[in-house]
């Protein structure tokens, strides 16, 4: 049975150039659950993108182009959005042209015409939240699947999407000039208590070999926003108790892979689907920082033996990193401009592809 955990799952993060039931709140005893079938061979491929909706500007269109190409090569099954779907202030309503200008008319490749499982970010809460949650948007584009919190079950892996914005105190006590749409969230503490119970229940009842949790806000990050204290104290203990393998987020506009010295949880940031923050990196324990990138000229790897982690792919400008589950552990980097291979042991990705300027191949 243990061998089943090593079935391949392809996870792809795109960062700057890493049957549906809709619910307006999470007050129910059980989170909405969607079924996502795997391929006949048991594999699953998908893209993940965060912080993207800028009507094609700030490299959003360039990222979409590369997503289409990689999506076709990997025959993806769906796309994950980690939130901040529409800048700067979400959607104004159901008929806001930003939905088509930033989504439908941007991600036009045939390979991207798959379900987009989407959570809300803090910028989305500055607009009409009900518009993004409304099933009426599916009449405009049937790919759109947006809920506050829900579960996607796909055989060997369960994806749990969590509404993280209501956890953050400053949006309530120091909103500055911003106005947030808290309909469906107030009273806040009741909403959060119910949500934490539902998350814990969904993870405890999961029989999947892999458990992946998605939220907009960081738990661990060396980026501009850094760690989100409220999630560290309220959500992270639940992830630890339920043996979650990976937490995937946006919010910080960079690419990161951070491990944990005290648990199996891995942390990955994909938060620059249209705009990255060049050089905005803070200190993080070198024992935990595995990889960080804020632009295509700023990249840092740390190679050390990790806990086993699901495969992943991250994208920054024209830079792409991919990986997948495996028992074998070695990494081969190839740069055709230098015509040289470099071998590193004990890392857990399968391939790194650098478009335009570089190409890296990691083989496990």
Cα diameter, the chain: 61
Q: Does the annotation count 225 as an active-site position?
A: yes
Find, among 325, 309, 206, the residue nearest to 264 by Cα: 309
In whole angstroms, how far apart are CA 20 and each of 24, 157, 322? 13, 18, 29
C-alpha–C-alpha distance, residues 186 and 183, integer Å:
7
Question: Which one of the listed residues 225, 251, 257, 334 is annotated catalytic?
Answer: 225
Tokens standing for 5?
A: 């955990």
DSSP 101: I
Instruction: Give the pair of three-digit tokens for residue 59.
Output: 């490299």
Whose structure tokens read 């007050």? 27
Residues 6+ apart with CB under 8 A from 177: none
Rounded Cα distance between 279 and 340, Å, is 28
Contact 194, 180 (CB under 8 A): no
Give the sheet arrangement for strand 351-354, strand by strand: 314-316, 319-322, 351-354
Contact assessment for residue 143 and residue 114, using Cβ atoms and an 8 Å cutoff: yes
DSSP, residue by residue, 252-319: SSSEEEE--SSSS-EEEEE--SS---TT------TTTEEEEEEETTEEEE---PPPP-----EEETTE
* Catalytic sites, residue numbers: 225
């Amino acid at each position: 049975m243990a061998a089943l955990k090593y079935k391949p799952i392809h996870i792809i993060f795109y960062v700057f150039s890493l049957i549906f039931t809709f619910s307006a709140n999470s007050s129910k005893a059980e989170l909405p659950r969607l079924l996502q079938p795997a391929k006949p061979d048991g594999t699953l491929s998908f893209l993940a993108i965060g912080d993207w909706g800028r009507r094609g500007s700030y490299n959003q269109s360039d990222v979409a182009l590369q997503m289409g190409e990689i999506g076709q090569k990997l025959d993806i099954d769906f796309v994950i959005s980690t939130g901040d779907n529409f800048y700067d202030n979400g959607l104004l309503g159901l008929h806001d042209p930003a939905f088509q200008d930033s989504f439908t008319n941007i991600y036009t490749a045939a390979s991207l015409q798959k379900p987009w499982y989407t959570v809300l970010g803090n910028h989305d809460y500055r607009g009409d939240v009900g518009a993004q949650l409304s099933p009426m948007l599916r009449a405009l584009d049937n790919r759109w699947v947006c809920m506050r919190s829900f579960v996607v079950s796909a055989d060997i892996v369960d994806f749990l999407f969590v509404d993280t914005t209501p956890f953050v105190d400053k949006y309530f006590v120091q909103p500055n000039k911003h106005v947030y749409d808290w309909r469906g969230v107030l009273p806040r503490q009741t909403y959060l208590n119910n949500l934490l119970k539902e998350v814990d229940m969904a993870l405890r009842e999961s029989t999947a070999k892999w458990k992946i949790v998605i939220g907009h806000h960081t738990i661990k990050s060396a980026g501009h926003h850094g760690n989100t204290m409220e999630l560290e104290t309220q959500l992270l203990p639940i992830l630890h108790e339920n043996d979650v393998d990976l937490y995937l987020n946006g919010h910080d506009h960079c690419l990161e892979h951070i491990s944990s010295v005290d648990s199996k949880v891995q942390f990955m940031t994909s938060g620059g689907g249209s705009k990255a923050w060049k050089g905005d990196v803070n200190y993080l324990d070198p024992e935990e920082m595995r990889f960080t990138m804020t632009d295509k000229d700023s990249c840092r790897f740390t190679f050390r033996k990790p806990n086993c982690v699901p495969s992943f792919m991250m994208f920054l400008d024209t830079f792409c990193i991919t990986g997948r589950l495996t028992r074998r552990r070695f990494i081969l980097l190839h740069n055709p401009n230098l015509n040289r291979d470099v071998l590193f042991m004990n890392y857990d990705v399968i391939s790194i592809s650098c478009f335009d300027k570089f190409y890296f191949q990691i083989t496990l």
